Structure 1
């Protein structure tokens, strides 16, 4: 099975390499808002609202102006807060765990037809590199070994996600996009070593982000 998967991946890379037309690459800017949560993390755990913004490139992979590879480089705000709807009035309801990233998503993007104004879908990996983490109102806990842990919930310096998106393009220039990113790596690896939390302590802390935004692609 491994040999079949490797052979399939090599064939796909070879095919795409033959089709990619870097000379027709178009560039653009993108920005929008984010709604994020982290599963199995803090209690209370609620959503955090932030934003993203950056640059994109649209690299054609066919001759019909319909399929593209779209890499992006963004500032990407994510994380969580303590504002769980069932935790109003609790001690840490106003806690904020804001994770600020330089993010590099790489999408395979397809328009539903060759029309200038058309819907599209895209999917691909997202690589997040932590710039900093701003934490406020959070509890201080201790590791199993008893050493002071400082702020509860130190974010990993790198995490990996898979992104899916749909949107609408107006004349292949102004585009509105709705995206969902599912974190596959552990956002708070240190949190798993803390004591005194509920049974979810040993589960992976997955960062999940919904975003909606606009992009403008230059000629």
Structure 2
């Protein structure tokens, strides 16, 4: 986890001289799952909560007219899934991560003017801080003893500004690293689909 925090601090320091910086709080409610391993698995509902900063990447004389931003986030994220093997109790696999998406945020332009709609995409780093398994053992329990602490993937989102300090978004995350390195039948990775909000606390110019 220290590596994630250090990387985030270096990213913020590296963009400290950007033309303008806006910062705030972010959160979402999502449904997540671990692809390719458990018995009749079903996604679970969870959430992310964290902080973000918008670093403008274009030069503008008019305040808040930038249409391209670098947007790193630092989040606490709940992932996992439940599964049901016939004639057995529910199996639960719940994992918590410190997550760091590194977005490029692009505001759609209309006749040269910045609109309220934006697109975001970028890589994501994760560090596993807790993992909890409950219920009967899965069929692949022997291959689930080891979990990769570090994970990486891709996050994409589309959002719209609804008020001066608020916007809402839909986000999809897809992992590319293996969650269970000892399981070789399929590639196991995290994925999620959620809806969330950003609240801007302030800005610097």
Question: Normalising by structure 1, what TM-score?
Answer: 0.74
The alignment status of 1:217 with 2:200, answered yes or no, reads: yes
Q: Does the CA-based 8 Å contact 1:34-1:51 persist in structure 2?
A: yes
1:1-219 → structure 2 map (5 Å cutoff): 21-63=17-59, 64-82=65-83, 90-92=87-89, 94-113=90-109, 114-115=113-114, 118-139=116-137, 149=142, 152=144, 154-192=146-184, 202-219=185-202
How far apart in 2 are the matches of 1:53 and 1:70? 15
Q: In the superposition, relative to structure 1, how do residues 39 and 125 fare at CA in structure 2: closer, same or farther (>3 Å)?
A: same
Specify which structure has the higher proportion of helix.
1
Question: Where does the alignment leave 5 or more consecutive residues of structure 2 unmatched?
Answer: 1-13, 60-64
Deviation, structure 1 residue 99 = 1.1
How far apart in 2 are the matches of 1:138 and 1:78? 20
Q: In the superposition, relative to structure 1, how do residues 175 and 142 fare at CA in structure 2: closer, same or farther (>3 Å)?
A: closer
32-41 or 151-160: which moved more? 151-160
- Listed one character per residue, the Cα deviations across residues 32-90 of structure 1 (whole Å, up to 9, x for unaligned) are 2121112211112111111100000000001241110000000011111115xxx6x54
Question: Normalising by structure 2, what TM-score?
Answer: 0.79
Q: In the superposition, relative to structure 1, how do residues 20 and 109 fare at CA in structure 2: closer, same or farther (>3 Å)?
A: farther
Q: In the superposition, relative to structure 1, how do residues 106 and 90 fare at CA in structure 2: closer, same or farther (>3 Å)?
A: farther
Structure having the higher Rg: 1
Q: Does the CA-based 8 Å contact 1:21-1:60 persist in structure 2?
A: no
Question: Where does the alignment leave 5 or more consecutive residues of structure 1 unmatched?
Answer: 1-16, 144-148, 193-201
Q: In the superposition, relative to structure 1, how do residues 137 and 152 fare at CA in structure 2: closer, same or farther (>3 Å)?
A: farther
Number of residues paired by the alignment? Answer: 181
Specify which structure has the higher proportion of strand.
2
- Listed one character per residue, the Cα deviations across residues 125-170 of structure 1 (whole Å, up to 9, x for unaligned) are 0101000101111406678xxxxx4x94643211111111101112
